[in-house]
């Protein structure tokens, strides 16, 4: 008889998972780590400012902790004048993976509850120093935390003596995050600058300043204080629901005392009125007054499938989106790329699987971009830098359009800018 070895079974926490697989979250090497950390904090800051319709004032400071070259420890500080984080939520927002305020159905840069926290985790595992967070929502106090992430448990560890609080006479609101991480800043710098420049194109109402380790200052100055209208959260559209979403919504409805199928459809789903709901239920063959608590698992499957198929629901509204609009796009391009000619376009909202999306774009000629056609791609105002060739806009620009027909030479300095905003971006 062969030896039977006991397998060892255990469970790991989400933080532990991302610690082991940090390349998934963009922290695969010392160059990429610096770039990703800056990017994650800046995106959080931009979201936080837009949430309160404030023109962002973002300051990034990178300081070397000892002389280079190569991979050395850096201190990274990112300041913003955004909404701030309530004191009681700070430890979880920054010390727990998959915790955040952006799980609603509305357009934001952040979606996972992961990015900024991963930067903190990376800093911790490379330098064994705590993250420092200073924040105020504009109330009486500014709070300061120092914390570690307990990676095996996915929990914040707040250091003794914290939070500290300071009076906030001026009503300041915003957040300052400071971490130490090892990385290779000089190698990351070209990508960081390119990222900031591209970000400045779609955020012309933001001023972003970077102080690099040599003390050089790069400033991307705002040219307008007009911030796009913020998105408002929406309910799931029946074309996009699956069995799990439907089960959750039914659970929520019954907890809130709504047990009637017809009323449920009009109250918990996006753009379903009484008339449409009645017609829909007739097609499915369920009486409108069916008690939600009596639905069997197969009824729910049937409902979800029928909802996805039924073609008489109104399309989702686009107010959960926050596009830039032609004017902001134009001034963003003018300010960063200085072209001689720009044309912009804004498509009407459209939908994919129950998620609304808007495409806007521009073409520019003669700016300070290299000869040939340069493609600038954005999703929810974030520049996309990877996998360009798998993007449909790349195929259109490089393969489908016959530029010669428009008398655009191969080496003409042309930039094509595309921006898609949606509650679901299939990255
Ligand atoms: N500068 C900030 N101002 C206000 N809130 C912030 C700031 N940075 C982080 N937060 C809060 O912390 C949460 C977690 O941030 P984190 O970057 O880890 O995830 P996320 O932004 O929700 O999603 P993603 O993984 O896509 O970045 C955010 O959802 C937000 O509530
Ligand atoms: Mg984030």
Mean pLDDT of the chain: 94
Nearest CA to ligand 1 atom 26: 110
**E strand intervals along 65-152:** 72-80, 131-137, 141-150
Measure the CA–CA gap between 84 and 168, rounded to whole angstroms: 13
- State the number of CA atoms in the 13 A half-sphere of 93 facing the CB: 23
Measure the CA–CA gap between 257 and 37, rounded to whole angstroms: 44
- State the number of CA atoms in the 13 A half-sphere of 297 facing the CB: 1
- Residue 427 binned pLDDT confidence (cut-offs 50, 70, 90): low
pLDDT at residue 82, as a whole number: 98
Distance in Å, CA 44 to ligand 2 centroid: 5
Q: Is 184 within 8 Å of 31 (Cβ atoms)?
A: yes
- Domain ranges (residues) in the chain: 14-220, 238-309, 326-422
pLDDT at 153 over 70: yes
Pocket test for ligand 1, best of 37, 51, 92, 100 (most atoms within 8 A of CB): 100
Q: Which atom of ligand 1 is nearest to the CA of 117?
A: 18
- Digit-coded pLDDT (tens) for 19-54: 999 999 999 999 999 999 999 999 999 999 999 999
Measure the CA–CA gap between 291 and 281, rounded to whole angstroms: 13
Distance in Å, CA 100 to ligand 2 centroid: 8
- Residue 385 binned pLDDT confidence (cut-offs 50, 70, 90): confident
As a CATH number, domain 14-220 is 3.30.565.10
- Digit-coded pLDDT (tens) for 64-89: 999 989 999 999 999 999 999 999 99
**In CATH, which of 1.20.1740.10, 1.10.287.110, 3.30.230.10, 3.30.70.270 is domain 326-422?**
3.30.230.10
- Digit-coded pLDDT (tens) for 214-268: 999 999 999 999 999 889 999 999 999 999 999 999 999 999 999 999 999 999 9
- State the number of CA atoms in the 13 A half-sphere of 86 facing the CB: 4
Q: Residue 110's closest CA among 43, 26, 14?
A: 43
Distance in Å, CA 184 to ligand 2 centroid: 22
Q: Is 154 within 8 Å of 195 (Cβ atoms)?
A: no
Measure the CA–CA gap between 355 and 131, rounded to whole angstroms: 36
Strands 355-365 and 217-220: unpaired
The single residue listed with the structure tokens 């935390």 is 145
Measure the CA–CA gap between 40 and 195, rounded to whole angstroms: 12
Measure the CA–CA gap between 316 and 320, rounded to whole angstroms: 9
Question: What residues does ligand 1 touch, defined as CB less than 6 Å away?
Answer: 40, 44-45, 48, 80, 82-85, 93, 100-102, 110-117, 175
Q: pLDDT above 90 covers what percent of the chain? A: 87
Cβ contacts of 81 within 8 Å, gap of 6 or more: 49, 54, 56, 57, 172, 173, 174
Rounded to the nearest 5 percent, the helix, strand and coil shares of the chain are 35, 25, 40
Q: Which helix (H) or strand (E) holds 364?
A: strand 355-365
Q: Is 234 within 8 Å of 106 (Cβ atoms)?
A: yes
Q: How far is CA 420 from CA 53, 113, 193, 235, in A?
A: 21, 21, 23, 20
pLDDT at residue 425, as a whole number: 86
| Mean pLDDT value of segment 104-111 | 90
- Digit-coded pLDDT (tens) for 313-369: 999 899 999 999 999 999 999 999 999 999 999 998 888 888 899 999 999 998 777
Q: Is 231 within 8 Å of 355 (Cβ atoms)?
A: no
Measure the CA–CA gap between 259 and 294, rounded to whole angstroms: 9
* Domain formed by 238-309, architecture: Orthogonal Bundle (1.10)
pLDDT at 1 over 70: no
- Digit-coded pLDDT (tens) for 254-290: 999 999 999 999 999 999 999 999 999 999 999 999 9
């Amino acid at each position: 008889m062969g030896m039977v070895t006991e397998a060892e079974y255990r469970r790991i926490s989400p933080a532990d998972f991302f610690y082991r697989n940090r390349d998934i979250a963009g922290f695969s090497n010392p160059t990429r780590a610096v770039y990703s950390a800056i990017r994650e904090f800046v995106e959080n800051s931009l979201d936080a400012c837009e949430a309160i319709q404030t023109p962002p004032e973002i300051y990034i400071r990178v300081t070397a902790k000892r002389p280079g070259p190569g991979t050395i420890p850096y201190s990274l500080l990112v300041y913003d004048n955004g909404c701030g984080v309530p004191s009681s939520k700070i430890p979880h927002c920054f010390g727990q993976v998959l915790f955040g305020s952006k799980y609603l159905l509305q357009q934001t840069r952040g979606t996972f509850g992961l990015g900024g926290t991963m930067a903190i985790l990376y800093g911790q595992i490379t330098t064994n120093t705590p993250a420092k967070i200073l924040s105020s929502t504009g109330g009486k106090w500014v709070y300061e935390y120092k914390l570690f992430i307990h990676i095996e448990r996915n929990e914040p560890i707040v250091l003794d003596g914290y939070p500290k609080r300071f009076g906030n006479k001026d009503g300041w609101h915003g957040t300052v995050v400071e971490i130490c991480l090892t990385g290779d800043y000089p190698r990351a710098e070209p990508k960081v600058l390119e990222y900031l420049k591209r970000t400045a194109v779609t955020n012309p109402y933001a001023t972003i300043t970077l102080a690099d380790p040599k003390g050089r200052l790069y400033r991307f100055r705002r040219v307008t204080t007009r911030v796009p209208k913020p998105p408002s959260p929406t309910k799931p559209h029946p074309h996009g629901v699956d069995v799990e979403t439907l089960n959750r919504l039914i659970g929520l409805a019954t907890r809130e005392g709504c047990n009637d199928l017809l009323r449920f459809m009009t109250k918990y789903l996006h753009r379903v009125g009484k008339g449409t709901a009645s017609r829909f239920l007739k097609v499915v063959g369920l009486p409108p007054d069916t008690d939600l608590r009596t639905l069997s698992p197969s009824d729910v499957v049937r409902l979800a499938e029928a909802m996805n198929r039924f073609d008489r629901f109104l399309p989702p509204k686009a107010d959960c989106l926050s596009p830039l609009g032609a004017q902001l796009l134009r001034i963003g391009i003018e300010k960063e790329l200085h072209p001689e000619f720009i044309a912009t376009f804004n498509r009407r909202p459209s939908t994919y699987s129950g998620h609304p999306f808007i495409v806007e774009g521009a073409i520019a000629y003669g700016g300070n971009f290299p000869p040939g056609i340069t493609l600038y791609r954005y999703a929810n105002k974030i520049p996309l830098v990877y996998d360009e060739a798998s993007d449909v806009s790349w195929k259109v620009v490089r393969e489908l359009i016959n530029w010669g027909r428009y008398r655009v030479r191969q080496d003409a300095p042309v930039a094509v800018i595309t921006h898609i905003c949606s509650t679901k971006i299939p990255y």
